[in-house]
Amino acid sequence: MNASVDLALMEWEQGRRKLEHLDVPPKREAVYREVVDEIVAELTRRVGQTYTLEDLAREYATSAAWTRLVAHRTTDNVWAHDLTIVADAAFARFARGAQDYRDRD
């Protein structure tokens, strides 16, 4: 596994942890999770069903603009546009479907 994939995996895991440890009311958490769901749906459209972690890391490297757009389309609540939470958590979830996800150790 290359360094860019390793770094991306670390960032995605941090985002997943941030999402899991949000200290916000349930309605606010639901908005964050809706944004994550929409980013995952967009990843499915962009990357498809068959991909590797390297494919996903390449998409991640250029994802800031489109993930921000998805977040804005999903909600007007600017607090749910924090890409270090919503985008990274979405990529963390999507990474589990990579062909080589289990081979990474």
| CA terminus-to-terminus distance, the chain | 9
Nearest CA-CA partner of 90 in 34, 49, 52, 29: 34
The size of the chain, in residues, is 105
pLDDT of residue 104: 62
Domain range summary for the chain, segments of one domain joined by +:
3-103
Which positions of the chain have pLDDT values less than 50? none
pLDDT of residue 1: 62
pLDDT of residue 92: 98
pLDDT of residue 91: 98
